[in-house]
Structure 1
Amino acid sequence: MTTAGERLKTVRKRRDLTQRELADASGVSLSTLRRLEQGEQESSRMETWRKFAAALHVPTMTLVGQPDEEGAIPDTADRWDAVKKALNAPSGFREEEDEPPTPEGLTEALDALVPLYVGDRFSDLACVLPGLLRDVDALGPEGREVRVRLLQRVGWLMIQVREFGAAEDALHRSMDETRDRLQATETVNHLCWMLLRRGKLAEARELATKWADDAEPVRISRATPTELSLWGWMLLRVSAACVRDNRPGEAEHAMRLARAAGEAVGREYQIPQHLSGRTFGPLTVLLKTAENAQIIDRPDMVLRLGDKVQKITKAKSQRLRVRPTSNNWNRHLLDVADAHSKTGNYGMAVEKMQDILRRSPEWLPNQRFARDIVGRVIEERRTLTQDMRDLAISVRLPI
């Protein structure tokens, strides 16, 4: 089985390029290129492979093949053992319970979890989810609806903390049980996100494209905000997969359609909680446009779009009742921090990441992108401030 480094070397030679020429064309250091081709370095970030692919005019996956899966953060992996055990436990009511669970009671319990998800309170969720999973399984057929919702939420969380095996189990169980087309579309949205985080770009693109086609309204003018939002999110997943796989034309086409869906919604809209509670609208599309700009290494574009986002959120501070989810907003701040670090404004990069750390201290450690940004800042600075040290500790970066 060939390695990614060997495939890189093969394609480079087909293009009749020297290592120096490819390094210059891609913007990746010659030393990194040599280590990869010689097998001294087995893997690299997807961003690096995309730069090589762009310079060689091939899809990213031509070089990467089937990438190694990035697992959970070691220091936090044990936290989720109880959730994974409950997720795969045999169904059936537990004899030791005083009162059996009911669909109504578990629906209320699930609704009560919303603040924990919104606040990125992962530790609290780790404590309450095992019991809820056992209870919804005990309900049997009458608990199908609440079980689908809970499995979706568990799947989302497991993706967030990089427990991909558990995420896949939860989401496939959710798909098996749902009878609602919109609910199934939202579950597939999570599956596409999981594939993106695992670097399985071709699978993510194919799945998202199929469901985006299926979810497209017959007439946009008659579609509900929920239908438009779910369609728009599938298009964003298509665009995200394509831009990472060095398919810029397809990425832009999908983003244009997502933009049209956002304009049809007309504002930031919160998808009903029984589906996901995520938001979609013109602002969400703008955030994802900035994310695409980060992927193609356009820090100037990221900063311009970031300024536009700031103006929108400030100008509409009294009217913007629905704001993007914490996950999407934090990802945008990471994109902006990355752009500042690449343009030499390390102080602003640290400021943006400190903002994330203050608001979502449990979210940041699970972002490998954050570790890369902090590493770049530390590498370029001779003297570290306390804020830089705090960030390094939070993302588990040795200093």
Structure 2
Amino acid sequence: MMFLEERHPLKVSRRARPAFATHSHGPRTQRSRPGDPGRLHGGHMSVDAHRSYNEAMRPAGIGRSVGDMSVDHGERLKNARKRVGLKQHELATASGVSLSQITKIEQGDYTPRLETLRALAIAMRMNTSDLQIGNDAEQADPDTSDLWAPVRRALLGQDVPDDVPEEPATSDGVRTAFDEMRPLIDQHRYREISAMLPALLRDADTLEGQQGRSVRARVLTTTGWMLTQNRQFEAAATTLNRAIDASVDRGSAVAAVNVLVWAHLRQGQLTEARDLAVKWADDIEPRFSRATAAQLALWGRLWLYVANAAVRDNSPGETADALSLAKAAGDRIGHEMLYDPNPNRTFGPVTVAQITGECHVIADDPARALAIAEAAPKLVFAPSAAGRLRHRLDVAHAHAQLRQYPEAMGTLQELRDFAPEWLVQQRYARDILGKIIAKRRTLTAEMRELADQIRLEY
């Protein structure tokens, strides 16, 4: 499946977003009008138009209220299957999901994962979110929850030590302490970070004035990022909303929004992630001729999140549109960069290529994903950034999809050695290793060791 062709638009209007792939739910429409500055001409359907078209073409009564918990996964799947005229065994054949699994879902005996719902949605030519109820989050294990408990309490103003210094905290002092923590963030040393954050949060909370708000927003955004990375989703959402509220400019606010969108994606909340990203991308859309690199990066990163949500939602046309917009921003910048002080937040042509590869992995096109990875520079900017590590998981997954299990295992072991605290928080890594060992009658010592280290359940 091709998501992105080699095109380089210099200006993009929010009213004309280019699509380079045929959408599965219908034809493209002409969106361009002559005379609009910065408009790309051609028969393109915008991101918003794709979604409106999907809604219009969806059969009545299917998926129009994803949040309606009165209908469970089983009822929703059964209603959708009957509406499109498929029997259970026909849906099993078309989707690759076993007949027994479909039966269990419809009977309410099994809660399907997002990837299972996507396979079923593809077979029935609908969006994944049409079948989705709730989220698809993996909750943190007890050790991780205990590790971050002091941070959660500090966010609530609890556990204030008796020996608080009489001298008040200053913006410069908090900023210096934050900068001292950055190497730990870069190295994914979560145990040490979780020990430093409570005092930093308490000090940041006392800061006043515009400068104080700016520093506090920065600390809260990074804290929200760390909580999301460690699967503390409720605390992360509250923290990131506080960061948005504390922000003194759009750049700071959208940095927190980017993390909040990512938190939605980590929980499988496709509609929430996409809607929030599109809203803010429209709000901050830059003029390419005058925009700074940071403005382009923040905007482009939001479109990468839209692509990430859209490909999971079986919306290939929308995925192509979003990737094209992100590529325009990346090409305009021309190099990789950090788009806020957190050393794990990168954007540029390489990042766009890596997310494009991820989209191909999700769309079951592992060969294309590996080709993109092979074509990427061997030495990349910020190699320890979480996005770079995530790309390595995509490479491992692509190898596993192609039954190249030694290569997949080798990539997982490299990640374990490079960023062990990061890897243990990745459900994706457990999914990949689980698929590898499911194909084997016996496990090697290396497989058993890795399974224990990343906490793969039996």
Structure-2-length-normalised TM-score? 0.81
Query: Contact conserved, 2:185 with 2:343, CA < 8 A, in 1?
Result: no
Query: Amino acid of the residue matched to residue 394 of structure 2?
Result: D
| Aligned mates of 2:250, 2:457 — CA distance in 1 | 47
| Aligned mates of 1:140, 1:155 — CA distance in 2 | 21
Q: Does 1:204 align with 2:278?
A: no
Deviations, residues 23-75 of structure 1 (Å, cap 9, x unaligned) = 1211222222121112121x222111111111111111110132354322233
Show structure 1 runs of 5+ residues with no match: none
Query: Contact conserved, 1:147 with 1:174, CA < 8 A, in 2?
Result: yes
Query: Contact conserved, 2:344 with 2:385, CA < 8 A, in 1?
Result: no
Query: Contact conserved, 1:93 with 1:138, CA < 8 A, in 2?
Result: no
Q: Does 1:295 align with 2:336?
A: no
| Aligned mates of 2:128, 2:318 — CA distance in 1 | 14
Q: Does 1:14 align with 2:83?
A: yes
Query: Contact conserved, 1:226 with 1:271, CA < 8 A, in 2?
Result: yes
1:279 to 346, 365, 389: 346
Shift of 1:277: 5.8
Deviations, residues 165-221 of structure 1 (Å, cap 9, x unaligned) = 110111011111111111111111111111111221111111101111122212x13
1:388 to 441, 447, 450: 447
Deviations, residues 260-302 of structure 1 (Å, cap 9, x unaligned) = 11110111122241x7762111100011011111211222222
Q: 1:167 to 1:213 in 2, by over 3 A?
A: same
Shift of 1:140: 3.8
Q: Higher relative CO (CA 8 A, sep ≥ 6), structure 1 or 2?
A: 2
| Aligned mates of 1:151, 1:13 — CA distance in 2 | 48
Query: Contact conserved, 1:186 with 1:276, CA < 8 A, in 2?
Result: no
Query: Contact conserved, 1:280 with 1:324, CA < 8 A, in 2?
Result: no
Deviations, residues 285-327 of structure 1 (Å, cap 9, x unaligned) = 0110111112112222222222122xx22xxx4xx5x235521
Q: How does 1:185-264 map to 2 (within 5 A)?
A: 185-218=254-287, 220-264=288-332
Q: How does 1:93-112 map to 2 (within 5 A)?
A: 96-112=164-180
**Match in the other structure for 2:117:** 49
Q: Does 1:131 align with 2:199?
A: yes
Q: How does 1:41-80 map to 2 (within 5 A)?
A: 41=110, 43-67=111-135, 69-80=137-148
Query: Contact conserved, 2:114 with 2:136, CA < 8 A, in 1?
Result: no
Q: Secondary structure at the match of 2:192?
A: helix
Query: Contact conserved, 2:140 with 2:231, CA < 8 A, in 1?
Result: yes
Q: Does 1:333 align with 2:392?
A: yes
Query: Amino acid of the residue matched to residue 282 of structure 1?
Result: P
Shift of 1:380: 0.9
**Match in the other structure for 1:165:** 234
Structure-1-length-normalised TM-score? 0.93
Q: Secondary structure at the match of 2:421?
A: coil
Q: Secondary structure at the match of 1:384?
A: coil
Structure 1 runs (4+) greater than 3 angstroms displaced: 90-96
Query: Amino acid of the residue matched to residue 264 of structure 1?
Result: R
Shift of 1:329: 1.2
| Aligned mates of 1:31, 1:47 — CA distance in 2 | 17
Query: Contact conserved, 1:91 with 1:137, CA < 8 A, in 2?
Result: no
| Aligned mates of 2:319, 2:185 — CA distance in 1 | 30
Query: Amino acid of the residue matched to residue 307 of structure 1?
Result: E
| Aligned mates of 1:137, 1:176 — CA distance in 2 | 13
Q: 1:37 to 1:277 in 2, by over 3 A?
A: closer
Identity among equivalent pairs (%):
44
Q: Does 1:361 align with 2:420?
A: yes
Q: Secondary structure at the match of 1:110?
A: helix
1:28 to 71, 80, 97: 97
* Cα RMSD (Å): 1.9
Q: 1:324 to 1:9 in 2, by over 3 A?
A: farther
Deviations, residues 207-252 of structure 1 (Å, cap 9, x unaligned) = 101111122212x132111111111101111111111111111111
Query: Contact conserved, 1:279 with 1:324, CA < 8 A, in 2?
Result: no
**Match in the other structure for 2:219:** 150
Q: 1:31 to 1:305 in 2, by over 3 A?
A: farther
Query: Contact conserved, 1:93 with 1:100, CA < 8 A, in 2?
Result: no
Deviations, residues 5-36 of structure 1 (Å, cap 9, x unaligned) = 22111101111112121112112222221211
Q: Secondary structure at the match of 1:211?
A: helix
More helix by share: 1
| Aligned mates of 1:388, 1:47 — CA distance in 2 | 24
More displaced 10-residue stretch of structure 1: 138-147 or 376-385: 138-147
Query: Contact conserved, 1:92 with 1:140, CA < 8 A, in 2?
Result: no
Equivalent residue pairs, number: 388
Q: Secondary structure at the match of 1:113?
A: helix
Query: Contact conserved, 1:337 with 1:352, CA < 8 A, in 2?
Result: yes
Query: Contact conserved, 2:182 with 2:343, CA < 8 A, in 1?
Result: no
Shift of 1:134: 1.0
Show structure 2 runs of 5+ residues with no match: 1-69
